[in-house]
Structure 1
């Protein structure tokens, strides 16, 4: 869907990979602490991080918010299969999914489904409304299948590493 990825053409060395592993776990880390963890000078780390951002390897820094803290107690993955005739406008359908207020992430995937939609809602009535009254009524949609999310590893990892 997104064409070539220029970041995939960048040559990364061991230091770049070490920096990325540390930042992926804690993007708020200071440059000094980053340098200590990867055993490199602070100036080198600063230059490398700037280069990783400029090259598109690092696509952003963000906060991972616990949906429950916002009153969004129910998370689900909605698997969506489109009708064959609707596959001509995959980008448009993806933009539609991204625009839904409950959307946390949209994945365009291969296999027997076209999209996986990660949503967070207040309660099961809201989830039913998203699936039955919002997505399933779209003419492009051939089928949906919904799975509740009980927990996921990123949340635990983030809690373990943020002090």
Structure 2
């Protein structure tokens, strides 16, 4: 797999256009994509396969309507651990991965150790998840919750502006 710098150096304008287009329209046909990027189908398919093999395209996903599926409530949780030894971190990470309500989990440098994005049906469901599951994760010393009132920006993937042709972003 390429490092970030090698991946940028190995890509040209057409690769970047393929990435931008597939990120926005993951279900686009190879025929339509090849027309948009100025290639015939075979070279376009070969480039897609290379971008997948190199790990720049990690998958194709459907964006679900989480509100219509019954999970409109989002909260962010700061988690502070009792200790940050490798064993405690490993156990916390493994247990956090098993909780379906944790949408994302980030190890943070600063006044706390992890930032969790938690998605639930409502505040009552969140309260149960926090009390019964998050607070019981291995090594948790304390938590601080922040309920989302409104999502202002929720980009899916890398902003196309950052996939630049000059390789500097």
TM-score class, shorter-chain normalisation, is 0.7 to 0.9
> 1: distance between equivalents of 2:97 and 2:138?
17
Q: Cα deviation per residue 1:100-158 (whole Å; 9 max; x = unaligned)?
A: 12122223333333322222111101111122332123351133222233224337xxx
> Using a 3 Å threshold, how does the CA distance of structure 1 residues 20 and 137 change in structure 2: closer, same or farther?
same
Q: Which residue of 1 aligns with 2:57?
A: 58
> Using a 3 Å threshold, how does the CA distance of structure 1 residues 12 and 69 change in structure 2: closer, same or farther?
same
Q: Which residue of 2 aligns with 1:154?
A: 155
Unaligned runs of 5+ in 1: 156-163
> Using a 3 Å threshold, how does the CA distance of structure 1 residues 132 and 56 change in structure 2: closer, same or farther?
same
Cα contact 1:7–1:57 (8 A) shared by 2 = no
Q: Which residue of 2 aligns with 1:79?
A: 78
DSSP-derived class of the 2:68 partner:
helix
Cα contact 1:67–1:120 (8 A) shared by 2 = no
Q: Which residue of 1 aligns with 2:107?
A: 108
DSSP-derived class of the 2:22 partner:
helix
Q: Which residue of 2 aligns with 1:135?
A: 134
> 2: distance between equivalents of 1:39 and 1:133?
55
Deviation at 1:27, TM superposition (A): 0.9
Deviation at 1:29, TM superposition (A): 1.2
> 2: distance between equivalents of 1:77 and 1:121?
11
> 2: distance between equivalents of 1:87 and 1:129?
28
Q: How many residues align?
A: 151
Deviation at 1:87, TM superposition (A): 4.5
DSSP-derived class of the 1:137 partner:
coil
> Using a 3 Å threshold, how does the CA distance of structure 1 residues 109 and 63 change in structure 2: closer, same or farther?
farther
Unaligned runs of 5+ in 2: 157-169
DSSP-derived class of the 1:153 partner:
coil
Q: Name the larger-Rg structure.
A: 2
Give the TM-score normalised by the residue count of structure 1. Answer: 0.78
Q: Which residue of 1 aligns with 2:44?
A: 45
